[in-house]
Amino acid sequence: MVVKINLREKLALFTDHWSPKILADLNDSHVKVVKVRGEFVWHNHAEEDELFLILHGRLTMELRDGSLTLEPGEFVVIPRGVDHRPIAEEEVHLLLIEPKGIKHTGGVEDPRIVTEWQRL
């Protein structure tokens, strides 16, 4: 079945931060939305690439050799194995495309680890 998904409507359904929600399946990946604020943990994904698309706000993506500032309408692909840490001084809304089964902390222990993904 083909369905239309409204990102604004889906983002209005939750207020928590750093807890991605699944919107759709795309081959072997999930399309997710998430709200973030503050600093996440330094981590990497040994086997997976990730796409971060900024929908609202400004995100700083720290890398070991510098950082990128992303504005609405911009995205970055973090290649597998690259250490990164997202930082949002104010609330940022993101669309993520990630392989199914990814550990969003890259296996780093953190109280914000999501083990059961909510589907909206």
Q: What is the mean pLDDT of the chain?
A: 91
3-state secondary structure of 112: coil
pLDDT digits (tens, 9 = 90+) for 6-60: 999 999 999 999 999 999 999 999 999 999 999 998 988 888 899 999 999 999 9
CA dihedral sign, ordered 60, 53, 51, 32: positive
Domains of the chain: 7-100 (2.60.120.10)
Query: Are 119 and 48 a contacting pair, CB within 8 Å?
Result: no
